[in-house]
Chain A
Amino acid sequence: MNDLVLIRKNLFRRKLRAVLMMVSILIAFAIFAVLASFERAFNAGQDRATPDRLVVLNKINFTQPLPISYYNRVAAIDGVAQITHFSWFGGYYQEPRNFIAAFAVDPENWMKLRDSDFVFPPEVRAAFIRERTGVLVGARMMEKWGWKIGDHIPISSSIWSQKNGSHAWDFIIVGSFTARIPQADTNVMLMGYDYFNETRSFGKDLINWLALRTTSVAANERVTDAIDGMFANSPYETTTDSEKAFNKAFAAQLGNVALIVELVVGAAFVTILMIVGNTMVMTVRERTREIGVLKTLGFPGGRILRLVLGESILLALLGGLPGLCVALLLITRVRDSLMSFVPTLSLYPDIAAAAVGLMVVFGIITGLVPALNAMRLNIVTALGRS
């Protein structure tokens, strides 16, 4: 026998109570891990944003267009190193529920700008620039739909129509790309703007936003002022912001996820903390006489403290670790169906590690008061208590 056996035996002397407490903790940590993973996935865009990248939007909001002519005018501003433009296609594959994140871009400059995020093989780069009807599809999207290079795929738009009235475009997959960094989302499709612009029935020569890289972070403010100043009092006024702020604003369309996570997890934790803490106090109080006996046998106060704290930490781990497994199962099950909305959804190792750390803290908090009470317990009083 050792202290761990003693801790385990104490914890499970009332099995039903121990199991119920573990289930409570399991639920709390499953909620934590799932919501933290969603929060991470929603904010993945902010994580991958680099400080020298800016986004130029219509001042009204990002759904309002900008003229394509802005592209060359912004590119000519001193301090702009690279630039590309984006147009939201609003695509789906076969059925409207099969959402496809697709953008019309300037192929060459888009690849240059995103070189730090994605890996573009030379032949893919060349094919995407060359083929007007070609699309570039990220690795996760290829995998999701079982596509391969050379496939002809009909992609419909819920926004745009062709001049012949059709909402579907027939594209050829000319290449695929993979992520260079974990946060980069490859569940995405890119098409050439020229082909899209020529074939659509309305919105000609308009784009949704510009993305650019400045020559240095120090130039950001000057470039921002130059762009917004250039288009002030025009029919299409602009607002220029960092890519991180843009991604954050985009994520905010889905609600303040971080706040929801904090409130839900916080409420669950405080509730379960009180329940488990109160139960631990009662559990130790029931054992007052036994603790008195242990002290009589020569167990010092510090060791009694460690035994009680060990019990609460073991309880937290036995409840929390299965909670992480439940969270992993849940995330794995829903990941495919939510790939279009939260493509980087995953239970990241650092979230799991934070959860384990939180379990230990949780165990210490719930066990500290009863452990201190046990440590300070007067033997004569304890033995006199029935």
Chain B
Amino acid sequence: MLSPTDPMIDIVDLCKRFTKGKETITIFDGLNLAIPRGDFVAVMGPSGSGKTTLLNLLGGIDRSDTGGIEVAGERLDRLSESELSRWRASHIGFIFQFYNLMPMLTAAQNVELPLLLTRLGRKERRERVETALGVVGLADRVKHYPKEMSGGQQQRVAIARAIVSDPALLLCDEPTGDLDRTTADEVLSILQVLNRDLGKTIVMVTHDPAAAQYAKRSLHLDKGHFIEKELAA
């Protein structure tokens, strides 16, 4: 069980390599990182520096070669695939660059997807969906399909889907990479509210320095190691 003083993320001596043909590419070699609960961290770095790989490892959708990854009090390297699935469903909210909504489902149905993995009844699921869509300001778009919404609105639906099961950690992979500046600012403001008012820990991978300004601190990945910068007040 996670105590209030325990870090949300604790990475110790992490190693991750990829094999491409006969070549082995080392992404991380002895990476260490601790992120406290309630933090909002922007992870920046050049292409190929391992930002998305780090996010995948934190979300339990990729595995490390060696080293320990503890997220929300759980050692991910010790969980089986099915245990990881259950853990992800209850602890992690993912937000992708291209929203990744199901085109044949309405906004409400997309948001409801993670709740199908819970034991909640239909009424409670509907209430939670309405609340989540209300948080992102889309209470009036419940029955709209993704193709009927703008990119910004779709990303807000994706945020609602990420928070609907009330996870402790939000992992965002270039959440504003496909949006114009104004819309990006709206989305980032929502993330900031989720962090500040609801206490969500957020790790956001981004190339955009302006987006990183919304985080409390920024970590720069370079050759498998972090360089930290303090940001927001």
Residues of A within 8 A of B (CB): 1-3, 5-6, 9-10, 12-13, 289-290, 293-302, 379-380, 383
Contacts and interface: CB of A to CB of B under 8 A. Distances in A.
Given A1-B116, A379-B61, A297 B109 contact: no
Contacts of B96: 293, 383
Given A10-B104, A379-B61, A296 B112 contact: no
Interface string B72-112: 00000000011001111110001010001011110001001
B130 to A, nearest CB: 14
B139 interface: no
Contact of A380 (B56, B88, B94, B100): B56
Given A1-B116, A10-B104, A295 B109 contact: no
18 contacts: A1-B105, A1-B116, A9-B102, A9-B105, A13-B103, A290-B102, A293-B96, A293-B102, A296-B94, A297-B88, A297-B89, A297-B114, A298-B85, A299-B89, A300-B81, A300-B82, A301-B82, A379-B62
A10 B105 CA distance: 9
B59 interface: yes
A380 B53 CA distance: 9
B100 A289 contact: yes
Contacts of A289: 100
A293 B102 CA distance: 9
A293 B100 CA distance: 7
A293 B110 CA distance: 11
Contacts of B94: 296-297
Given A295-B85, A301-B81, A9 B104 contact: yes
Contacts of A295: 61, 85
Given A5-B109, A293-B102, A301-B81, 9 more contacts: A9-B102, A9-B105, A290-B100, A290-B102, A296-B94, A299-B85, A300-B82, A300-B86, A379-B56
Interface of B: 56, 59, 61-62, 81-82, 85-90, 94, 96, 100, 102-105, 109, 112-114, 116-117, 125, 161
A19 to B, nearest CB: 16
A297 B111 CA distance: 11
A297 B117 contact: yes
A1 B61 contact: no
Interface of B, helix, strand, loop or mixed by DSSP: helix
Contacts of A299: 85, 89, 117
Contacts of B100: 289-290, 293, 383
Contact of B86 (A3, A5, A296, A298): A298
A5 B102 CA distance: 13
A113 to B, nearest CB: 66
Contacts of A300: 81-82, 85-86
A3 B116 contact: yes
Contacts of A13: 103-104
Contacts of B102: 9, 290, 293
B113 A296 contact: no
Contacts of A12: 104
A9 B105 CA distance: 7
A298 B115 CA distance: 10
Contact of A298 (B56, B62, B89, B112): B89
Contacts of B87: 298
Nearest to B86: A298
Contacts of A379: 56, 61-62
Contacts of A6: 105, 116
B104 A298 contact: no
A295 B82 CA distance: 10
Contacts of B90: 298
A12 B88 CA distance: 29
Contacts of B61: 295-296, 379-380, 383
A13 B104 CA distance: 6
A316 B109 CA distance: 26
Contacts of A380: 56, 61-62
Nearest to A298: B89
Given A297-B94, A298-B86, A301-B81, A2 B103 contact: no
B31 to A, nearest CB: 18
A293 B101 CA distance: 8
Contacts of B105: 1, 6, 9
Nearest to A3: B116
B88 A298 contact: yes
Contacts of B85: 295, 298-301
Q: Nearest 3 pairs between A and B by C-beta? A: A298-B89, A379-B61, A300-B85
A13 B101 CA distance: 14
Nearest to B102: A290
B104 A297 contact: no
B113 A297 contact: yes
A299 to B, nearest CB: 7
Contacts of A5: 109
A175 B113 CA distance: 70
Contacts of B103: 13
